[in-house]
Amino acid sequence: MMETPEYIDRLRIVGGDPALDFVNTEDGDPRSECLRDYGDLVTWSVRVGLLSADEGERLVSEANRRPEDAEAVYRDALRLREALYGIFRAVAEGGEAPERSLETLRGYEHEALSRGKLVQGDGGFAWEWKDGRDLAGMLWPVVHAATGLLTSGDLDRLKLCAGCYWVFLDASRNRSRRWCTMEVCGTDAKMRRYVAKRAAKRGE
């Protein structure tokens, strides 16, 4: 059985899209790392449903056989995440995505499509990555979700949390959501405003 480290167990999944959730694996402000090695990458992928528990177990034993390859995939994942964060953050702030980050994403998407399979199911068509020995297998659906999000429009729903700089899709009707989660960042901000108000009152 795989152990789930506490920092992955605790991680809030609020992006509303696997690519955004992946970006949010760097948590909080100051940012702390929730993907500390290849095993974490697998555990997180199982947690968000990109891999089944069985697929996760298989990848972990594959990684034990090929530690250097696993380490390379882990480094790749961090590079991909940095590129995605650069793009999503720029879009959320109404700016232009950095060309270097886009170039990185293009490369990954080429790779994802060349390894993926377009399949037909009851619910329609979908891309599938089912090579159980591909250590990077969890990255392809993330990459494809990212380009899907960027090309499908509705990017004005893409937001950056005003508290912790996570990215998320705002599904609220009037697009007024400012926080990744009200209970965490929203409440913090309310508390800060309240404390500031009281301090100001006292100073009167």
Which residues are at the interface with Zn ion (CB under 5 A)? 161, 163-164, 166, 180, 185
Q: Strand pairing partners for 128?
A: 117
CA–CA dist 12, 57 (Å, integer) = 23
Q: Rounded distance, CA 162 to CA 159, Å?
A: 9
Q: Measure the CA–CA gap between 185 and 93, rounded to whole angstroms.
A: 18
Question: What is the spatial distance between Cα 122 and Cα 152, in angstroms, rounded to a whole number?
Answer: 22
Is omega for the bond preceding 30 within 30 degrees of 0, making it cis?
yes
The smaller minimum CB distance to Zn ion, of residues 7 and 127, is found at 7
Provide, rounded to whole angstroms, the least separation between the CB of residue 132 and Zn ion: 35
- Residue with Cβ nearer Zn ion (51 or 164): 164
User: At its nearest, how many Å lie between Zn ion and the CB of residue 20?
Assistant: 12
Shortest Å distance, C-beta 24 to Zn ion: 9
SS3 204: coil
12 or 58, CB closer to Zn ion?
12
- Which phi and psi angles does 126 have, rounded to 5°? -155, 155
Long-range Cβ pairs for the range 111-118 (8 Å, 24+): 111/140, 111/143, 112/139, 112/140, 112/141, 112/143, 112/144, 113/144, 115/140, 116/140, 116/144
In the complex with Zn ion, the residue whose CB is nearer, 116 or 163, is 163
Could you tell me the smallest distance in angstroms from the CB atom of residue 164 to Zn ion?
A: 3
Name the residue nearer to Zn ion (CB basis): 148 or 186. Answer: 186
Q: CB of residue 179 vs Zn ion: minimum separation in angstroms?
A: 5
Closer to Zn ion by CB, 137 or 163: give it. 163
Q: In whole angstroms, how close is the CB of 184 to Zn ion at the nearest point? A: 6
